[in-house]
Structure formats: structure tokens, C-alpha cells
A and B are shown apart, each in its own frame.
Chain A
Amino acid sequence: ELKVEQNPLFLSMQEGKNYTIYCNYSTTSDRLYWYRQDPGKSLESLFVLLSNGAVKQEGRLMASLDTKARLSTLHITAAVHDLSATYFCAVVYNNNDMRFGAGTRLTVKP
């Protein structure tokens, strides 16, 4: 069964700093998603990564995928308070099944 490991689980950082969240998975995947969740809300889709070497950027967030290493990263550049949320990676395998990482709770402090 597919296992998805995300780290760190909790992250507190100051505004203006950079950091990377990692997502490792255990078997071949069809595609990988990154989601953001604010407290009490559902998931907001950030990125979908389909192929090895894929890199996508939106504002201060950049996601990449290395299918050989079974690793995806979500890099935060010059963090701002508005980025405070929980971030989940989710891996799709067998074309239909999706498994989520445990989530990374990010707090950005002034």
C-alpha cells in the first residue's frame, strides 16, 4: 500500500524567510497534488505535478517533483503571514486511489 510521508509536521518561521516542505512516497505514482487548508475550511488546490522534473510556481510557492526519488518539495520563498495554513501533499496511484500526507502546519510570524 502506498505510504506518503510529509515533513516537517509543524513549522514556525519568520516573515521573509525561506523553507522547504518535503513529501516522500513509497510506490510509483500517477500524479501528485499540493493542497492548502485553512482552519475550518476544505482543501484548496495549489499544484498538480504530472511528470518527472515538473516544476510549478505560484507567487511565493514553488513545487517540484522527482519521480525517481519519489520526492516532491514545496518551497516557500520570503514567507508572509498570509501563507499560514496547513499544507498537504497527496499522491494518486493506480489511476484512482489518492493518499494524503499527514500535513505540515505552517505558522508565519511577523
Chain B
Amino acid sequence: GAVVSQHPSWVICKSGTSVKIECRSLDFQATTMFWYRQFPKQSLMLMATSNEGSKATYEQGVEKDKFLINHASLTLSTLTVTSAHPEDSSFYICSARDFQLTGELFFGEGSRLTVL
């Protein structure tokens, strides 16, 4: 199946700093990628839909100025957590749909963010 790669796998940062997470589709083009957030022992919550070449669509309650999404190419979307605080600590997972072939959704490995 298609591969979606996330980087970094885990990151620890100080409060007030910004952290960028990358999501790449390695062997297919993804015009749409999705960013999820997962707190411990909870389900995945969709944060935003990232569209190549246009602005992301954020879910209700997700601060767009806090979570900056850039989908600059057909294979790369980035999520930047700005001025991170401890409550932003979470597991962030991206996914991308391979529209050209099966339309199936493929998930990245996830990025664990810990804000001290």
C-alpha cells in the first residue's frame, strides 16, 4: 500500500516555542491530507483538512492561529504548533487519501509532542 511518513516521531519542547510536524506521501500525490489529534486513551479527533494550494479547513474549536497548516505541494503538508503549551502535548497523526488509485486513506506513523 501507499506510504505516508511523518517527521519527527516524537519531540519535546519548552513552553512558548513552536514545533513543526511534517507529513509526506511517499509514493502518491495527495491533494488532501488530514490532521488528527489523539489524547491518551482517547480516539482520534479531526483537527483540520489540509488542501494543496489553498487554506486548510479547520474543525470547530480548533484555533487556526495556533495550529498552522501549510500544504505547499502534492506530497507535503506541515502542521506548526505555535507558542506551544503543556496542554498541546498530544499524539498528532496525519493521513492522506490516494485519490488516483483506491481512494483509500493512509495514516502516518504519528508524532508525539511533549511540551514542558
Would you list which residues of chain A between 61 and 104 have a CB under 8 Å from chain B? Answer: 88, 92, 96-103
Min CB distance A46 to B, Å, is 12
Determine the chain A residues whose CB is within 8 A of the CB of B34 once the complex forms: 98
Q: Which residues of A contact B49 (CB under 8 A)?
A: 96
- Contact partners of B107 in chain A: CB under 8 A: 35, 42-43, 45
B104 & A48 in contact (Cβ 8 Å cutoff): yes
Q: Is the CB of B43 within 8 A of A98?
A: no
Return chain A residues, CB-CB under 8 Å to B41.
105
Q: Is A59 an interface residue (CB 8 A)?
A: no
Contact between chains at A43 and B93 (CB < 8 Å): yes
Report the minimal beta-carbon distance from A109 to chain B, rounded to whole angstroms.
19
Which of chain B's residues 43-87 have a Cβ closer than 8 Å to chain A?
A: 43-46, 49
Count of chain B residues near A, Cβ 8 A: 21
Q: How many residues of A sit at the interface, in one of the four size bands? A: 10 to 19
Q: Count the A-B residue pairs with Cβ separation under 8 angstroms: how many?
A: 39
Q: Is the CB of A103 within 8 A of B104?
A: no
Given A42-B93, A43-B93, A96-B32, A101-B43 contact (CB < 8 Å): yes
Residues of B within 8 A of A48 (CB): 104
* Most chain B C-beta atoms within 10 Å of own C-beta, residue among A35, A100, A102: A100
A32: min CB distance to chain B, Å: 12
A25 to chain B, nearest CB (A): 14
The verdict on A100 contacting B43 (CB below 8 Å), with A42-B93, A43-B93 known, is: yes
Query: Which B residues are CB-close (under 8 A) to A92?
Result: 105
Q: Contacts A33-B105, A41-B109, A42-B109 known; A88 to B43 CB distance under 8 Å?
A: yes
Interface string of B2-36 (1 = CB under 8 A from A): 00001000000000000000000000000010100
Chain A residues at the B interface, C-beta cutoff of 8 Å: 33, 35, 40-43, 45, 48, 88, 92, 96-103, 105
Q: List 15 A-B contacts (CB under 8 A).
A: A40-B112, A41-B109, A42-B6, A42-B93, A42-B108, A42-B109, A43-B44, A43-B93, A45-B106, A88-B43, A99-B46, A100-B43, A100-B45, A102-B42, A103-B43
